[in-house]
Amino acid sequence: MKSTTYIRTLQIIHVAIMLGIVGFWLVIVLAIQPPMQPDMPNIVIYALTGMGFVACLAGSIFAFNLQNKAKAESQLSNKLQQYRTAHIIFLGAMEGAAMLFLIAYMLSAYWWTQFFGAILAIMAIYFPTRTRIISALELSNSDVDKWDNLA
């Protein structure tokens, strides 16, 4: 897949997932107006928040391990495929964690359940660009030229 198509596809997926998180947050704030259940036991809120942190950490570790495996691949197509897989896993883990934080916020409206904002910032930092992909995969100049000339 040509570099511009590959990058554009990853960017569309990235933005769509981020917009899904923002859209859910807007529904909570504008339509539901937390706290939905002010008598919710704190243990439930702590569990949701804890699961959010675990999802964020585990997904990041798994995705970055896959990305490191991609560097070791000899064929460019395999590198790009593994990078895409790693990136989508990272996005899925971040989205899941953000949703857990948003549900905790919806149920309690505690300030510390609003870590979904931090997750959006992390996702924005890892927005896929040509330079970031080349750097992450440590592509050589010949690999970059090959990538640019793919049909």
Ordered by start, the domain boundaries in the chain are 3-148
Q: List the alpha helices (DSSP H) in the chain.
A: 3-27, 42-72, 76-108, 116-125, 130-137, 141-148
Nearest to 77 by CA among 135, 130, 3: 3
33: pLDDT strictly greater than 90: no
Q: What is the mean pLDDT of residues 51-66?
A: 94
Q: What is the mean pLDDT of residues 102-116?
A: 86
Start-to-end CA span in the chain (Å)? 6
pLDDT by residue (tens digit) across 72-99? 888 998 999 999 999 999 999 999 999 9
Predicted confidence band of residue 48 (pLDDT cuts 50, 70, 90) = very high
pTM for this entry: 0.89
Q: What is the mean pLDDT of residues 48-69?
A: 94
User: What are the CA-CA distances from residue 106 to residues 103, 117, 147 (Å)?
Assistant: 5, 14, 45
Percentage of residues in the chain having pLDDT higher than 70? 98
40: pLDDT strictly greater than 80: no
Q: What is the pLDDT of residue 96?
A: 95
User: What are the CA-CA distances from residue 150 to residues 67, 77, 140 (Å)?
Assistant: 22, 10, 15
The tokens for 40 are 């919710």
Q: What is the pLDDT of residue 151?
A: 58
